[in-house]
A and B are shown apart, each in its own frame.
Chain A
Amino acid sequence: MSDKIINVPTADGDPYSASRETTEGTVYTVGGQDWDDITAALGETAEERIVVNMGPQHPSTHGVLRLILELDGETVTECRLGIGYLHTGIEKNCEYRNWTQGVTFVTRMDYLAPLFNEYAYVRGVERLLGIEDEVPERANVIRVMLMELNRISSHLVAVATGGMELGALTAMTFGFRERELILDIFEMITGLRMNHAYFRPGGVAQDLPPGAVDRVRDLLKLLPERLSDTEKLLIGNKIWMERTVGVGYLDLTGCMALGVTGPILRATGLPHDLRKSQPYAGYEQYEFDVVTETTCDAYGRFLIRMTEMKESLKIVEQCLDKLQPGPVMIEDRKIAWPAQLALGGDGLGNSLDHIKHIMGQSMEALIHHFKLVTEGFRVPPGQVYSAIESPRGELGVHLVSDGGTRPYRVHFRDPSFNNLQAAPAMSEGSMVADVIAAIASIDPVMGGVDR
């Protein structure tokens, strides 16, 4: 660092737009509206190298992401990213709650794909317990159905916010409007629009409410029309193409080296999808295609998201056909949550029948309920890595158990966290405006990045 720093106020004497000399050259501190000063000051020097801090509070950085851009004119010569602004210590918190309560924490990580966080975690717990195959069929079908609906809602936001960041505001309103349809279904089934905590080790919290299947069927009729509206709006749109074609280029070699997965990897032509290659939750029984493009750019990723939503609709339709009556929670009473939820006058809670049973009829049932709810179940010691295909790529969960009633270590390998590393490779050498398009095509969710 420089040994002497000289603060030179600019012509108008604004203390916030000062400049100082460092070994690396003059450093100007500017806020909004100061651009005239900076261009005036720069006009006197030959060098036009500027370092710009974009974010963390900036509408086009997709959340609290901080971009540190080194500019030569309007060309980005170096791009660095600052993250951590949304770190909430979820992994640490999980170590102080029992295995079932962990679901409530992890669902808050990648908040646009909460059900994927839940499933990856729950599957890890199930594998640690060795009960992966004992989860009832109906529970798995419900899980797949909700995950695919969630994939659509997540891709809709990706297209919506991506569109907003590039100035396509109608894409934004369309995307959020359609997403709301799905969130309504989530609210009906899980009780919440987000942060559901609906998947539990061994099954799901409760069965589908009456009318849910009809609601999903209605959605299956409505959504294809709505999606085609967005398609008509953007696919082939000259402005949209100008902003995204050839932008944010990352080829297969780059993806492999940086561990990038998801739509970015599939946009290089590699049909890698964990639902197909390493199926879980019965995905091998569903008919769907892995969508690929070969353009390696932001437009290709956008096309993949659009087509994947249609593939997800196909899966949801098959789920509805496969849905047979049956239990939604594992039979093993040492693991299965004892109570069924029911809607009462004061909201969702333990069903009155269950309360009547444990409080008035059976002491053993009360003990059983108490032990499972306060202590939880013990998980044999060991570690697992459970990976699923989230909307953004491989979502991996590393779980360690020490044989106790709480996780010893929960680590989420979030795809956004990993994929964001590719932003410099995608955007260095391009224009500032293309950085926005590149970041939008990565579709990072800062809740998942920082956890």
Chain B
Amino acid sequence: MSELDRSLPETQPPVAPAEAETVDVRHGMFGAQGSGDTSGYGRLVRPVQLPGATPRPYGGWFDDVADTLERALGEGGDLGYGDAVERVVVDRGELTFHVRRASLVTVMQALRDDPSLRFEMCMGVSGAHYPTETGRELHAVYPLMSVTHNRRVRVEVTCPDGDPHIPSIVSVYPGNDWHERETWDFFGIVFDGHPGLTRIEMPDDWPGHPQRKDYPLGGIPVEYKGAQIPPPDERRSYN
């Protein structure tokens, strides 16, 4: 097994700020709202920008993987590479394919089966909720590992809150069974085609999906040395 190649060649272009994906815009400071600008920070504006699409070359073996995936999926057309992969992000030495949900199973199948990709293992799926990213509120993130080539990539899929459906990849990676149930449980993403999509951590009759950002953490105020301390999700915070 070769050592995991984290080195990026010098041709690696910096991520252009214009390409960055703005998912939210924060105003003010300390999470204070509804009162006058007592902090003096009220007019601060901070866009929350996740790293955006990286132009080629991605560097190192990243280009090989992208090329092979492109070849395996075929050019353009229905479910081709151009259609399936929205964008490719290289950030902090990690490669992410943002894949359209309709093509997810095809892409996963190619990543698993192509001899020069051979990502044998899917390390589950993790959700993320961006309430202000309209039309792409829910993200599902799949870390993949290839033991053969000793590489890791990440596949990211989004779906809108109003239509929270993503195809299940249990047919490709059976080990994702529980992981998809967990992500359904916590985020309410429906994995179509899952053999038994039921709650796994929360009780079967639990209302809501706790890891969503609009789901409160809960808790009660506590008294400490005479002062009332509100629960953590109601305390002021730096934003």
Chain A interface residues (CB < 8 Å from chain B): 83-84, 87, 89, 91-93, 95-97, 127-128, 130, 256-261, 270, 272, 276-279, 284, 375-376, 381-385, 387, 394, 396, 398, 400, 402-406, 408-409, 411, 413, 417-418, 420-421, 450-451
| Contacting pair B3 A413 (CB below 8 A) | no
Report chain A residues within 8 Å CB of B120: 256
Q: Which residue of B lies closest to A451 (CB)?
A: B201
Contacts A259-B176, A270-B147, A403-B48 known; 19 new A-B pairs at CB < 8 A = A84-B202, A87-B201, A96-B233, A97-B232, A127-B92, A256-B121, A256-B147, A276-B1, A278-B150, A381-B48, A381-B50, A382-B50, A384-B92, A387-B123, A398-B141, A408-B128, A409-B126, A417-B178, A417-B179
Q: What is the chain A residue whose CB lies nearest that of B231?
A: A96
The answer for the CA separation of A128 and B233 in the assembled complex, in Å, is: 24
Q: Is the CB of B92 within 8 A of A128?
A: yes
- Asked if B217 lies at the interface with its beta carbon under 8 angstroms from chain A, I say yes
- B4 contacts A272, CB within 8 Å? no
Set of chain A residues within 8 Å of B4, measured between Cβ atoms: 277-278
- Considering the complex, give the chain A residue whose CB is closest to the CB of B203: A84
Contact of A421 among B91, B175, B186, B201 (CB under 8 A): B175
Chain B residue nearest to A420 (CB atoms) is B178
CA distance A307 to B143 in the complex (A): 30
Q: Does B237 contact A (CB under 8 A)?
A: yes
**Which chain B residue lies CB-closest to A410?**
B126
Q: Which residues of B sit under 8 angstroms from A376, Cβ to Cβ?
A: 238
Given A93-B217, A403-B48, are A84 and B175 also a contact pair (CB < 8 Å)?
Answer: no
A398–B121 contact, CB under 8 A? Answer: no
Look across to chain B and name the residue whose beta carbon is closest to the beta carbon of A284. B3
Whether B113 is near chain A, meaning CB under 8 Å from some CB there, is: no
Is there a chain A Cβ closer than 8 Å to B71's Cβ?
A: no
Given known contacts A256-B120, A257-B174, A413 and B46 CB-to-CB distance under 8 angstroms: no
Contact: B175 with A259, CB < 8 Å?
yes
Task: Say if the beta carbon of B64 comes within 8 Å of chain A.
Answer: no
Q: Is the CB of B94 within 8 A of A418?
A: no
Q: How distant is B136 from chain A, measured CB to nearest CB, in Å?
A: 14
Also in contact, A406 and B122, with CB within 8 A (given A277-B4, A385-B152): no
Q: Measured between alpha carbons, how far is A267 from B179 in the docked complex, in Å?
A: 24
For residue A403, which residue of chain B has the nearest CB? B48
Asked whether B24 lies within 8 Å of A89 as measured between CB atoms, the reply is no
Report yes or no: B121 in contact with A382, Cβ–Cβ below 8 A: no
Question: Which residues on the A side are within 8 Å of B48 (C-beta)?
Answer: 381, 402-403
| B100 interface contact, C-beta 8 A | no
Complex: how many Å from CA A369 to CA B171?
52
- From residue A409, how far is it (CB to closest CB) to chain B in Å? 5
Is B23 on the interface with A (CB-CB < 8 A)?
yes
- B177 in contact with A421 (CB, 8 Å): yes
Which residues of B from 150 to 189 have beta carbons under 8 Å from A? 150, 152, 154, 173-179, 182, 186
Chain A: minimal CB distance from B100 (Å): 19
Do the beta carbons of A277 and B150 come within 8 Å of each other?
Answer: yes
**Contact assessment for B154 and A272 in the assembled complex, using a CB-CB cutoff below 8 Å:** no
A257, B174: Cα distance in complex, Å:
6
Q: Check A396/B202 contact, CB under 8 A, given A278-B150, A404-B238.
A: no
**Cα separation A180 to B217 with both chains bound (whole Å):** 36
* Chain A residue contacts of B12, Cβ below 8 A: none
Task: For residue A385, give the distance in angstroms from its CB to the closest CB of chain B.
Answer: 5
**How long is the Cα–Cα vector from A97 to B231 in the complex, in angstroms?**
12
Q: Looking across the interface, which residue of chain B has its beta carbon closest to that of A259?
A: B175
Tell me whether B92 and A421 are in contact (CB under 8 A). no
Q: Is A84 a contact of B126 with CB atoms below 8 Å? A: no
Q: Which of A84, A259, A409, A421 has the most CB of B within 10 A?
A: A259
Please indicate the chain B residues that have their CB under 8 angstroms from the CB of A257 in the complex: 173-175
Which residues of the other chain, A, contact B176 by a CB distance below 8 angstroms? 259
Q: Is B210 an interface residue (CB 8 A)?
A: yes
Q: Give the 6 A-B CB pairs with smallest separation, nearest first.
A: A259-B175, A411-B126, A96-B232, A258-B175, A278-B4, A398-B126
**Residues of B with C-beta under 8 A to A127:** 92-93
A402 pairs with B238, CB closer than 8 A: no
List 27 A-B pairs, Cβ < 8 Å: A84-B199, A84-B202, A89-B210, A91-B186, A93-B217, A96-B217, A259-B122, A277-B147, A278-B4, A279-B3, A382-B51, A383-B50, A383-B91, A387-B143, A387-B152, A396-B124, A402-B24, A402-B50, A405-B238, A409-B128, A409-B211, A411-B126, A411-B127, A413-B123, A413-B124, A418-B175, A421-B178
B32 at the A interface (CB under 8 A) = no
Given A381-B51, A385-B154, CB of A87 within 8 Å of CB of B123? no
A95 to B50, CA, bound (A): 17
Tell whether, in the assembled complex, residue A403 and residue B46 are in contact, meaning their CB atoms are under 8 Å apart: yes
Contact residues in B for A403 (Cβ distance below 8 Å) = 46, 48-49
Q: Taking the nearest CB of chain A, how far is it from the CB of B170, in angstroms?
A: 10
A413 to B143 Cα, complex, angstroms: 10
B35 to chain A, nearest CB (A): 21
**Contacting pair A418 B179 (CB below 8 A):** yes
Taking the closest CB of chain A, its distance from the CB of B148, in whole angstroms, is 10
* CB atoms of B143 and A84 under 8 A apart: no
Look across to chain A and name the residue whose beta carbon is closest to the beta carbon of B239: A404
Task: Take A385-B154, A413-B123 as given contacts and tell me if A398 and B23 are in contact as well, using a CB distance cutoff of 8 Å.
Answer: no
* B residues in contact with A128, CB < 8 Å: 92
Name the B residues within 8 Å of A408 (CB-CB): 128
Query: Are B175 and A260 interface neighbours, CB within 8 A?
Result: yes
CA distance in complex: A97, B237 (Å): 9
Q: Which of A398, A405, A406, A421 has the most CB of B within 10 A?
A: A398
Question: By the criterion CB–CB under 8 Å, are B202 and A87 in contact?
Answer: yes
Asked if residues A418 and B124 are in contact (CB atoms below 8 Å), the reply is yes
CB of B210 within 8 A of CB of A84, answer no
* Residues in chain A near residue B152, CB distance under 8 A: 278, 385, 387
Contact indicator A400/B211 (Cβ below 8 Å): no
Q: How far is the CA of A400 from the CA of B154 in the complex (A)?
A: 13
